[in-house]
Amino acid sequence: MKKWLSGVILLSILVLSACGANQGNGGKPASQGDSDAPPAAAEPVTIEFWYGLGGKLGENMQVLIDKFNASQNEVIVKPVVQADYSETEKKLQAAIASGKVPAAVLSSNVDWARKGYYASLDELLAGQADFNKDDVISTFLEQGVVDGKQYFLPMYGTTQVMYYRQDALEKHNIKPEDLTTWEALAEAAKTMTVKEGGKTTFYGWEPMWGAENMMDAVYGKGGRVISEDGKTVLVDSPEWIETWDSFRKWIHEDGIMRIHSGGQGWEYWYKTIDDVMKGNAAGYTGSSGDQGDLDFGIVAAMEQPGWEGKGPGKPVASAIMAGIPALADAKQQQAAFKWFSFFMSAENTAFWSMNTGYIAVRQSALDDPAMVEFSKKNPQITVPLKQAAHASMPFQDPTGGKIVDALKIAADKVQIGNVPAGQALKEAKETAQRELDRSNK
């Protein structure tokens, strides 16, 4: 009897204990959860960001990735570094084929966007009222538009500017603000060039090897590569022939300019820079991204000139674009856009510009307090951004690069071979027109 009563009492205690526990859950079993408890925090979305940047560029990219990851708890960016831009594209091609893609890529490809490999960003942009597209430099933003849709966003920009030795100009009482035309620059280069025993020992200027510098000058004269309807190649027009033959004459006949060509990789580029830094030339035309390699106690920067009667120069300003692969899921795409928006903020695009020399993508970067203070001591940092405001769009070759290849061959003939521009460009026109006709069929 005592054993029976003990069992009943023990069972009652257990039942009451269980009821008490359920009352804390509003009478529900504990396994159903507590409706009054705060919801569990959502796990952050982790995305891979692929980019081909090394050295100081890579270090500064890591700084911004760390800053972004620490600024919020919704997205974690995992950097995946490639050797360069081209390797990023090759690996992305393989990733797309396998179906396993990163969410964010520092790369852009118009043809791939048309094939559906990249996601359109229009809906993401429409959902972010504070993104302020109007503040983004239009020359850059428009480069990410494919067939009327925004597929890529500009992370930073680059343009070819003029770097000059301050002592060389001062020696001849030449003011940089007077060098607003190519004609004026040629006269200054003639004045500064030094020839001894029939040999030039100091050059007045050094354009960079390749077609790009001379194409920039053509755009300043109003020239185009192809007609607006996309049917006719125009590289044999007077604007092209006159401009390219001016460079040929300055290099080969007047001897006031020099081109470094060939070599391994960027060898020719650094030989050109070295000529100026070591006192063998008064200045050169180079990338805004060169600023990290220059001593601005020796050199200063100015915008590319235009032509007499044609207004300011219109050199190309190219954007380094980022995109989101279409195979990334919706959450990954939203996370990637959040990261891009952070990178493109006025504060962060100004940081990138100050630390790399590349162009900030927002006009408001000029008003960023850190940028204002930095530019007081480093006025060269604002030159590329100011030039980008009246720059030309890069040429989009509808033949997949065949027109550009023809122009590269023509540029070598003019710059290295001393072939008259009319002849070189006529040959380039024939090749380019044939390729354009094929692509238009």
Say how far residue 100 (Cα) sits from the centre of its chain.
26
Question: Which among 347, 371, 388 is the end of a domain?
Answer: 388
Domain count for the chain, please give it.
2
16 in a structural domain: no
Say how far residue 54 (Cα) sits from the centre of its chain.
15
Query: Do 220 and 231 meet the contact criterion of CB atoms below 8 Å apart?
Result: no
Query: Do 102 and 48 meet the contact criterion of CB atoms below 8 Å apart?
Result: yes
Question: Which among 346, 368, 388 is the end of a domain?
Answer: 388
Tokens matching residue 106: 């520092």
CA distance 176 to 283: 11
Q: What is the 3-state secondary structure (H, E, C) of the chain?
A: CHHHHHHHHHHHHHHHHHHHHHHCCCCCCHHHCCCCCCCCCCCCEEEEEEECCCHHHHHHHHHHHHHHHHHCCCEEEEEEECCCHHHHHHHHHHHHHHCCCCCEECCCCHHHHHCCCECCCHHHHHCCHHHCHHHECHHHHHHHEECCEECEEEEEEEEEEEEEEHHHHHHCCCCHHHCCEHHHHHHHHHHHCEEECCEEEEECEECCCCHHHHHHHHHHCCCCCECCCCCCECCCCHHHHHHHHHHHHHHHHCCCECCCCCCCCCHHHHHHHHHHHCCCECEEEEEHHHHHHCCCCCEEEECCCECCCCCCCCCEEEEEEEECECCCCHHHHHHHHHHHHHHCCHHHHHHHHHHHCCECCEHHHHHCHHHHHHHHHCHHHHHHHHHHCCCECCCCCCCCCHHHHHHHHHHHHHHCCCCCHHHHHHHHHHHHHHHHHHHHC
Q: Given this model, what pLDDT does residue 180 score?
A: 97
CATH code for the domain of 190 = 3.40.190.10
Residues 272 and 413 in one domain: yes
11 in a structural domain: no
Query: pLDDT tens digits for 370-381?
Result: 999 999 999 998
Cα distances (angstroms) measured from residue 61 to each of 15, 136, 156, 257: 62, 20, 12, 37
Residues 142 and 252 in one domain: no
User: Can you say whether residue 311 is alpha, beta or left, with left for phi > 0 and alpha for psi between -120 and 50 degrees?
Assistant: left
Cα distances (angstroms) measured from residue 94 to each of 91, 104, 111, 136: 5, 15, 16, 32
Task: Please identify every stretch of the chain with a pLDDT value under 70, giving residue numbers as ranges.
Answer: 1-41
Cα distances (angstroms) measured from residue 341 to each of 69, 128, 157: 13, 9, 16
15 in a structural domain: no
Residues 165 and 222 in one domain: yes
Residues 324 and 312 in one domain: no
CA distance 258 to 154: 33
Residues 300 and 189 in one domain: yes
Question: Which among 361, 388, 415 is the end of a domain?
Answer: 388
Query: Do 427 and 237 meet the contact criterion of CB atoms below 8 Å apart?
Result: no
Query: pLDDT tens digits for 301-355?
Result: 999 999 999 999 999 999 999 999 999 999 999 999 999 999 999 999 999 999 9
33 in a structural domain: no
Backbone φ and ψ for 280, nearest 5 degrees, come out as -105, -5
Query: Do 328 and 119 meet the contact criterion of CB atoms below 8 Å apart?
Result: yes
Residues 186 and 289 in one domain: yes
CA distance 106 to 95: 14
Radius of gyration of the chain (CA): 30
Its pTM stands at 0.76
197 in a structural domain: yes
Residues 62 and 151 in one domain: yes
Residues 127 and 221 in one domain: no
Query: pLDDT tens digits for 240-282?
Result: 999 999 999 999 999 999 999 998 888 999 999 999 999 999 9
171 in a structural domain: yes
Q: What amino acid is encoded at 168 in this protein?
A: A
Residues 55 and 149 in one domain: yes
Residues 126 and 255 in one domain: no
Residues 264 and 115 in one domain: no
Residue ranges making up the domain that contains 312? 159-316+395-440
23 in a structural domain: no
Residues 182 and 83 in one domain: no
152 in a structural domain: yes
Which positions ≥6 away from 211 have C-beta within 8 Å? 404, 407, 408, 410, 411
Place of tokens 């559906």: 116
- Burial (CB < 10 A; 0-12, 13-18, 19+), residue 303, is buried
Tokens matching residue 245: 């033959």
Query: Do 144 and 151 meet the contact criterion of CB atoms below 8 Å apart?
Result: yes
Instruction: Dihedral sign for Cα 220, 222, 223, 225, please.
Output: positive
